[in-house]
Structure 1
């Protein structure tokens, strides 16, 4: 495979952890796990170097049961806490995250392997989400008058009650965003949360929980358990009043089935094989920059990143030249500062998947335009940003999610074909359209089968628009985060209807037939008057 090592610096093999990550700090965070004092332990490794990083107690199903029991007690008083007080706590949390961001940036890099610029976007995300739900929760959760059955005589109110205790299962790829953003909405709605973060990135989740308590969250309202899904997943499901899961489609199907069995709600953000369409009127330089931003953040380990790129035939050669040049110039490496463009993959399993997908494609005839190799000289889990062409349906990565820094380029003849190709997937999470005309881009976006579609942006525009819902169609999931959906899903709606003076049953002195005629006349009059 073609490789240009001259543009890629060698990592400092003596890279050490930042000064903020001390043994005492790690022990403080690990002590937050809900587990028995004599619990078994599990150790994680730092992706940059492969050396041991953190040591956690492992929660048992009994520990999960105990966490839920404590959470149920705490939730009752938390639900009774005025929304205004919850708002004050969340805004203090917002300030603490921004003020102490260097701590969590160090943690995210140490346990995930992403670059500092990618980690910082998670800080931005949590700042936006915290502020949004702190300042909109009262609007979403407050009592709302609804039109009654009989005008003037029926007083109808919609109330919102918290679900109770919510299970949040969060992934390793965006350890702050995915650990905190869903929890923020659940807490603001008056729920308690028992969360299972991925063990690999549990430090970041525990740090976030620690800050929420520092901001004033009452004891036991947010708890964290650590363990394999095969061990504690059943206890998390069986005790939940609602399930929030971000992860693979296969696991999501199992959770949806179990939630259906228990008749509880579930919100699932799952996999994707996200397309980007470059229309024939797109600015090539902007589209090439956009493709870099779409494909390689967090080493491609992003649910909304782009893995399929469709380019108009008239732009093919110029676009590929511009995109390939930019990709080859990306700086890969490990650094606890803003000097690096692409960081490490997070786990050996992910490196294995990326390697197998690329090797399979090349063996079957794909062409490597950039990257295509692991970089053990930089660290144990580094893989080059990779661009492929000549990818065919018999190759694994053609329609399977790679979840790494790999993108395949295809061409199309007209817009209808581009849309058909973009939609030729069971997934439907995110998409991107590049064009010189905003109106044209929005029209194309509306025809793409995806929960979010960005015009002249990769994914940040839709993701950052937290007043709008975000989630997937098809195999990419159920439910939405952000916006009204993102907090109301954690509530039970209740309708209280107070009937005054006269209802639908006839008064004693009027026969049922006469009463039916009167009501028929009322219905006709209401329709003629334009009443809803």
Structure 2
């Protein structure tokens, strides 16, 4: 029997829609589940979330809400085997790549549960100490953070149906803000199942967690001034969101994560045979192949000294030759499929576009597949392009191909390497591999202004560094410019998006009556 992903709004499951969109196995083309058309009674459902869910959450202390996050994590842990089955079937990922999504979600939830517990039994967060406003010192000003008195609407991308939900929902719920999630329909099954399990477990108050799995039509229309909106996806859709009345008229706060042409720099000192060189090659191959390159943080531009261009190309090609692609249920397969044939077509089109400017060094478009029909499967083997003179390129610095595709780009000197990284016009992440600590620090500081995160890898941290593409909840995730200008995670910093800062001006005695204040 096929699964129908019903919307959960207003504290209840809505009926199956007459309009159905099939979610398929991207390897076999088999229909797995169905999602419906537009959600019903959105305005009333949003009011229920604000009033019932928001009131119940705000009545709790930060420590109590942290305990709820721990309960949510326990529910998800108890069902993790089912999540792996859904991920492998619907996203076409191997078990190892499914873990990036599922275990990443669990780790992030656990992290915020523990971090929230450190805030203890407080209901108000302070921002700094009080400031004297009167000559006698009695009338003072204390800045505080108050949870927004609305809901948080999350519109997510297809590549992380598990982590994409919980990396946003964990800090929102910890802040006392109810959540409405709209996952990308093509891989919504995993998100839906997680929400269903949490709802059935009854660990969250009614209205705290809702989901829309079908059409996004009218999704933004009922938003009100105290709501917040977080979007992960294309820059084109982000532009439409920013121009919506909810944003322009109601000043709904928006967080955007859009396209990103991330780069990885090989330092001038990293010659073949050096540890930094080997670490760089290993990282590039990992980023090209993990989740079939479908990560917003993946390396799209591999910047290397012109003198080492051929050596890097040969080393990467040798490693890529050992990557088997095909059906993720086959134990010999190292890399599964893209999420859909539509994405398959987009990647092929993108490769052609890059090939108009760069040379194809490893062409994976027609590689043999393991246990998969190339006429049906959305599989593309890793593809490496090359441009020896990086400064001469334009497309390679501006166009992102969301798949197992990267372009090797040569640079003349260290200054040009940094300049080429900046040509991404704002990225989520850049990484630099070198044994020269002084240059790493200098280059990292120069790249910080155009990147949300800079991963500096020297041989002494080669085994312990968390990876170019891995988003850790302790560090912020987001980036300026074309990357969307947004910011998520970063420990307690993420709570700032779900709070409003206000100045309480009063007698020092009145301010003392607030009781102990937590701190971001």
- Shorter-chain TM band: 0.7 to 0.9
Hey, what's the Cα distance between the residues in 2 that align with 1:337 and 1:440?
44
| 1:146 equivalenced with 2:129 (yes/no) | yes
Partner of 1:342: 335
Give the Å deviation of 1:155: 4.4
Hey, what's the Cα distance between the residues in 2 that align with 1:453 and 1:385?
25
Native 8 Å contact 2:87 2:190 kept in 1 = yes
Partner of 1:405: 404
| 1:479 equivalenced with 2:486 (yes/no) | yes
Aligned residue among 240, 243, 251 for 1:263: 251
Native 8 Å contact 1:389 1:408 kept in 2 = yes
Aligned residue among 359, 372, 377 for 2:373: 377
Give the Å deviation of 1:464: 4.3
Residue 365 to residue 72, structure 1, CA distance change in 2 (3 Å): closer
Q: Which moved more, 1:382-391 or 1:198-207?
A: 382-391
> 1:305-327 CA distances to partner (integer Å, 9 max, x unpaired)?
01111111232222221111001
Residue 498 to residue 395, structure 1, CA distance change in 2 (3 Å): closer
Task: For residue 383 of structure 1, give the secondary structure of its aligned residue in structure 2.
Answer: coil
Task: For residue 453 of structure 1, give the secondary structure of its aligned residue in structure 2.
Answer: strand
Aligned residue among 241, 257, 261 for 1:273: 261
Hey, what's the Cα distance between the residues in 2 that align with 1:312 and 1:372?
27
Hey, what's the Cα distance between the residues in 1 that align with 2:261 and 2:495?
27
Partner of 1:243: 229
Matches within 5 A, 1:424-463: 424-448=423-447, 449-456=450-457, 460=467, 463=470
Task: For residue 146 of structure 1, give the secondary structure of its aligned residue in structure 2.
Answer: strand
Gaps spanning 5+ residues in structure 1: where? 1-22, 502-532
Residue 280 to residue 319, structure 1, CA distance change in 2 (3 Å): same
Please give the root-mean-square deviation of Cα atoms over the aligned residues, in Å: 2.8
Native 8 Å contact 1:167 1:236 kept in 2 = no
Matches within 5 A, 1:183-198: 183-198=169-184
| 1:325 equivalenced with 2:318 (yes/no) | yes
Gaps spanning 5+ residues in structure 2: where? 271-275, 510-520
Q: Which moved more, 1:211-220 or 1:363-372?
A: 363-372
Hey, what's the Cα distance between the residues in 2 that align with 1:455 and 1:114?
29
> 1:110-133 CA distances to partner (integer Å, 9 max, x unpaired)?
221122211102223222321222
Partner of 1:128: 107
Aligned residue among 452, 475, 499 for 1:491: 499
Q: TM-score, normalised by structure 1?
A: 0.82
Give the Å deviation of 1:446: 1.9
Give the Å deviation of 1:190: 0.7
Give the Å deviation of 1:290: 0.9
Give the Å deviation of 1:37: 4.8
Hey, what's the Cα distance between the residues in 2 that align with 1:380 and 1:281?
42
Residue 197 to residue 290, structure 1, CA distance change in 2 (3 Å): same
Hey, what's the Cα distance between the residues in 1 that align with 2:396 and 2:166?
31
> 1:453-477 CA distances to partner (integer Å, 9 max, x unpaired)?
1123897468444223221111111
| 1:359 equivalenced with 2:352 (yes/no) | yes
Hey, what's the Cα distance between the residues in 1 that align with 2:97 and 2:473?
19
> 1:362-382 CA distances to partner (integer Å, 9 max, x unpaired)?
466623334243767355210
Give the Å deviation of 1:201: 1.4
Hey, what's the Cα distance between the residues in 1 that align with 2:15 and 2:157?
24
Residue 113 to residue 269, structure 1, CA distance change in 2 (3 Å): same
Hey, what's the Cα distance between the residues in 2 that align with 1:105 and 1:438?
41
Partner of 2:81: 102
Native 8 Å contact 2:429 2:468 kept in 1 = no
Hey, what's the Cα distance between the residues in 2 that align with 1:299 and 1:236?
37
Aligned residue among 64, 73, 76 for 1:85: 64
Give the Å deviation of 1:385: 0.3
> 1:468-492 CA distances to partner (integer Å, 9 max, x unpaired)?
3221111111231112331221112
Hey, what's the Cα distance between the residues in 2 that align with 1:440 and 1:380?
45
Partner of 1:284: 277
* Aligned residue-pair number: 475
Native 8 Å contact 2:313 2:361 kept in 1 = no
Task: For residue 487 of structure 1, give the secondary structure of its aligned residue in structure 2.
Answer: helix
Native 8 Å contact 2:359 2:386 kept in 1 = yes
Hey, what's the Cα distance between the residues in 1 that align with 2:17 and 2:336?
36
Residue 297 to residue 264, structure 1, CA distance change in 2 (3 Å): same
Partner of 2:21: 42
Hey, what's the Cα distance between the residues in 2 that align with 1:106 and 1:64?
31
Partner of 2:477: 470
Residue 38 to residue 341, structure 1, CA distance change in 2 (3 Å): closer
Partner of 1:63: 41
Task: For residue 429 of structure 1, give the secondary structure of its aligned residue in structure 2.
Answer: strand
Task: For residue 478 of structure 1, give the secondary structure of its aligned residue in structure 2.
Answer: coil
